[in-house]
């Protein structure tokens, strides 16, 4: 019964000073909202990314050429952040070759299912009436779509004949059709579009449309969404190359993709030992999922620390206002004591008031945080996943802040001498 | 009749800085019997309120012995004093001291709240008490919506909440005009006659003092005179 009365008194007291209470709660609101929002976004993105990466095949290994890091003699003047990279352009002789692929297939025949290659051609602006989009053009070998588990929605894959003949055939993403053509996927097949790559104007004919993975993952992987894939040979001809910048290795079922990636890297390192500027890097999809989760964890931790500081400041604000309130209500405290209130009941009254203020701030913070988190998740194209656990913990935590920062002012009120309190002017 | 308040050699000093020691009460001996209506008079600054605070357990005496209803105050803990204030004493202040932003009803309920009376019983009794002081139609009013006389009547209802044996009133009519003061005074007489409450009243009004059983005069912290009132 005393609990109910304390709650009633606390609410009445907060109501009497609405704007002051709200301003005091601001620190708590911001802190809790930040925690909940980042948790929601983090949850959503991690879930979405890892599930779609999983669906893209955790057995896949990406092999690529990258600049060697930390070559001191190549260090450019000026300020350098993190790893040092040189500005040397990749040339034909730095690329992966057919011999290397053959070598890999022979060396790891028990573990590798298939190897597909891709060749970046470039990106261009494609216009269709008022619609326009930036399209990236990539040449891919025939196994590419199977290796990346892309689903066809209409038309067909690039044919062997188109591959050998280096034709200008293209498989485009569903988003390409949605953004540029505004026709059904079936109708899109057979249409052609032109695009300017470097000095050349090229005309491509759409032979198939595949389903675009959701945008959050695409964004994380550096895809623009409007992708266009052409035969590898067409791309190689365009680039005047016979070698590859990129390989996708599909591991056999049951093979440890991480271990295989390391073995492939070690194997190819042999070929690149004499290359001063470039090296080979191989990583599995599962390693990428882990890296993504780690990155998300780091962001969550960083923002949580900031939110923690906001909560601390908020708590101090609550303590400050409670001290003001106790001083303002000195006569009331004296009166209550004259009427028989014990020190404990006075202390409880003010602690409950601080707790309610913090809890209210916490609730508002949770609402704002969930709303913000859902909004941000949707903008990133991830399915929103507010974490019930973090909501409960946040609310309990805000109550704890109330107790912690409310105790000192409440104790000050409790220990007042009744007659001094009554005489207070 | 039994003695409900018994003061022996009560001394109260205030320490305001090391050398300045102010002795406000210089050994007060006073007995108040159960059901008695006592008035305390004296010049401003003579120590009346200080004495009342000692009687009401709001302040402890520096020296001397004080028994309230047989309980030795010197030996009692703060918690026990809170309990005695709650159960045995009803305060009526010159400045009303109603709790702000709290309805008349909730104000009257306060002593019962601290006394652990169940909510329903609290409300029932608070309403009955407000009826008794003719404030039954102002139950939901906030203190700021009441006149001085109305506030003082709510305060008297509040003083009666736990049916205490003793009512201590420090200039309860001091801030009221004589007509409103009269109604408040009539209330005290009724409580004294009908319910047998022991009342100690501080007043500057010779007229009101004379209506009581006994008039005690204080001067410079000592009792200098004692005479029977007209009510005797
Ligand atoms: N806490 C205190 N500290 C210092 N001096 C005090 C304190 N309380 C009271 N006094 C002093 O004690 C003296 C008596 O005060 P008290 O309030 O008892 O007078 P009173 O008889 O009630 O006067 P009034 O009729 O004006 O109310 C005053 O001189 C006052 O300054
Ligand atoms: Mg006085």
- Number of Cβ within a 10 Å radius of residue A43: 22
B116 versus A69: which is more confidently predicted?
Answer: B116
Mean pLDDT in consecutive groups of 10 residues from the start of chain B, 232 residues = 93 81 92 96 94 95 94 93 96 93 95 94 96 93 94 95 96 89 93 95 93 95 92 70
Split at pLDDT 50, 70, 90, the class of A130 is confident
3-state secondary structure (DSSP) of residue B100? coil
Strands A60-67 and A169-173: unpaired
B111 versus A97: which is more confidently predicted?
Answer: B111
What dihedral do alpha carbons B154, B160, B162, B164 form, nearest 10°? 150
Q: Which of these, A58, A93, A63, lies nearest to A246 by C-alpha position? A: A63
Give the number of domains in chain A: 1
Calculate helix-pair angle for B104-114, B148-159, nearest 10 degrees. 20
Identify the closest residue of chain B to A415 by CA–CA distance. Answer: B78
Q: Which residue has the tokens 């025949």?
A: A109
> Could you list the residue range(s) of the whole structural domain that residue B34 is in?
3-228
Residue A251 bridge partners (DSSP): A112
Identify the closest residue of chain A to B113 by CA–CA distance. Answer: A2
The alpha-carbon gap from A35 to the nearest alpha carbon of chain B, in Å, equals: 36
Q: What does DSSP assign to residue A89?
A: P
pLDDT for res A78: 45
Split at pLDDT 50, 70, 90, the class of A82 is very low
Q: Per-residue pLDDT tens for A352-386?
A: 999 999 999 999 999 999 999 889 888 877 777 78
Q: Per-residue pLDDT tens for A154-196?
A: 888 888 788 777 778 888 888 888 888 888 888 888 888 888 8
* Phi, psi dihedral angles at A157 (to 5 degrees): -75, 170
End-to-end CA distance of chain A: 33
The rounded distance, in Å, linking the Cα atoms of A356 and A345 is 16
pLDDT for res A56: 60
The answer to the question of residue A59 being in a domain is: no
The answer to the question of residue A181 being in a domain is: no
Q: What does DSSP assign to residue A198?
A: T
The answer to the question of residue A389 being in a domain is: yes
The answer to the question of residue A70 being in a domain is: no
Residues within a 6 A CB radius of ligand 1: B 14, 16, 22, 24, 42, 44-50
Q: Per-residue pLDDT tens for A163-173?
A: 777 778 888 88
CB contact under 8 A, B113 and A5: yes
**Which CATH number goes with the domain that contains B186?**
3.40.50.300
CB contact under 8 A, B99 and A335: yes
CB B210 within 8 A of CB B201: no
> Could you list the residue range(s) of the whole structural domain that residue A399 is in?
2-52+293-423
The rounded distance, in Å, linking the Cα atoms of A88 and A331 is 79
Is residue A404's pLDDT more than 70?
A: yes
Strands A169-173 and A152-155: unpaired
Indicate whether this model's pTM tops 0.80: no
pLDDT for res A367: 95
CB contact under 8 A, B87 and A419: no
Q: CB-based contacts of A417: which residues, under 8 Å, 6+ apart?
A: B59
Q: What does DSSP assign to residue A342?
A: -
The rounded distance, in Å, linking the Cα atoms of A261 and A256 is 9
Give the number of domains in chain B: 1
Q: How far is CA A156 from the centre of its chain?
A: 33
Nearest atom in ligand 1 to B171's CA: 27
**Is the dihedral angle over the CA atoms B70, B74, B80, B85 positive or is it negative?**
positive
CB B10 within 8 A of CB B24: no
Q: CB-based contacts of A163: which residues, under 8 Å, 6+ apart?
A: A141, A142, A231, A232, A233
Give the sheet arrangement for strand B214-219, strand by strand: B89-92, B166-170, B198-202, B37-42, B214-219, B222-228
> How close is the Cα of B76 to the center of ligand 2, in Å?
26
| Chain A contact for B86 (CB, 8 A cutoff) | yes
Nearest to B114 among A345, A417, A418 (CB): A345
Residues shown for chain B: 232
């Amino acid at each position: 019964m005393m609990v109910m009365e304390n709650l009633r008194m606390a609410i009445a007291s907060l109501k009497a000073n609405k704007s002051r209470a709200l301003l005091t709660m601001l620190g708590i609101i911001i802190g809790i909202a930040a925690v909940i929002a980042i948790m929601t976004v983090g949850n959503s993105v991690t879930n979405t990314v890892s599930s779609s990466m999983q669906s893209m095949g955790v057995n896949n290994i990406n092999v690529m050429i990258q600049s060697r890091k930390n070559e001191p003699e190549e260090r450019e003047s000026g300020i350098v952040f993190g790893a040092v990279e040189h500005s040397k352009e990749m040339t034909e002789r730095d690329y992966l070759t057919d011999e290397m692929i053959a070598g890999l297939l022979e060396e790891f025949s028990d573990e590798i299912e298939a190897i597909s290659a891709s060749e970046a051609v470039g990106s261009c602006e494609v216009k269709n009436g008022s619609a326009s989009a930036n399209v990236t053009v990539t040449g891919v070998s025939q196994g590419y779509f199977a290796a990346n588990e892309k689903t066809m929605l209409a038309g067909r894959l690039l044919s062997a004949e188109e591959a050998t003949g280096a034709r200008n055939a293209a498989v485009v993403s569903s988003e390409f059709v949605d953004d540029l053509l505004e026709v059904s996927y079936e109708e899109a097949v057979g249409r052609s579009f032109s695009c300017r790559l470097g000095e050349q104007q090229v005309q491509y004919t759409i032979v198939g449309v595949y389903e675009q993975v959701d945008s959050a993952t695409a964004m994380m992987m550096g895809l623009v969404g409007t992708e266009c894939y052409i035969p590898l040979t067409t791309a190689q001809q365009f680039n005047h190359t016979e070698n590859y910048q990129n390989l996708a290795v599909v591991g056999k079922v049951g093979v440890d993709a991480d271990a295989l990636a390391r073995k492939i890297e070690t194997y190819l390192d042999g070929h690149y030992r004499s290359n001063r500027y470039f090296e080979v890097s191989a990583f599995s999809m599962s390693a990428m999922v882990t890296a993504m989760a780690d990155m998300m964890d780091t962001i969550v931790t960083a923002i949580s620390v900031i939110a923690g500081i906001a909560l601390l400041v908020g708590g101090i604000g609550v303590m400050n206002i409670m001290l003001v309130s106790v001083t303002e209500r000195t006569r009331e405290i004296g009166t209550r004591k004259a009427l028989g209130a014990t020190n404990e009941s006075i202390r409880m009254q003010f602690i409950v008031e601080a707790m309610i203020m913090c809890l209210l701030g916490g609730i508002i913070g949770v609402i704002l945080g969930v709303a913000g988190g859902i909004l941000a998740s949707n903008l990133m194209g991830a399915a929103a996943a507010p974490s019930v656990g973090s909501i409960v913990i946040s609310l309990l935590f805000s109550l704890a802040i109330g107790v912690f920062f409310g105790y000192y002012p409440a104790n000050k009120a409790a220990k007042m001498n009744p007659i001094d309190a009554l005489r207070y002017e | 009749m039994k003695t409900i308040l018994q003061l022996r050699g009560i001394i109260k000093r205030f320490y305001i800085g090391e050398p300045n020691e102010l002795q406000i009460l210089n050994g007060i001996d006073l007995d108040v019997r159960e059901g008695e209506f006592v008035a305390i008079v004296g010049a401003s600054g003579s120590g009346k309120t200080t004495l009342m605070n000692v009687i009401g357990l709001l302040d402890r005496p520096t020296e001397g012995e004080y028994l309230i209803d047989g309980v030795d105050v010197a030996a009692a803990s703060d918690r026990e004093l809170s309990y005695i204030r709650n159960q045995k004493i009803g305060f009526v202040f010159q400045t009303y001291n109603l709790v702000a932003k709290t309805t008349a009803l909730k104000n009257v309920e306060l002593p019962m709240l601290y006394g652990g009376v169940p909510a329903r019983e609290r409300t029932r009794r608070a309403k009955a008490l407000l009826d008794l002081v003719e404030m039954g139609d102002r139950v939901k009013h906030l203190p700021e919506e009441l006149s001085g006389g109305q506030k003082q009547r709510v305060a008297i209802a509040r003083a009666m909440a736990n049916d205490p044996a003793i009512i201590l009133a420090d200039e309860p009519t001091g801030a009221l005009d004589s007509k409103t003061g009269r109604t408040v005074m009539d209330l005290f007489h009724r409580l004294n006659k009908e319910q047998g409450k022991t009342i100690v009243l501080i007043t500057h009004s010779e007229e009101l003092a004379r209506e009581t059983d006994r008039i005690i005069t204080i001067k410079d912290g000592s009792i200098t005179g004692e005479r029977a009132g007209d009510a005797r």
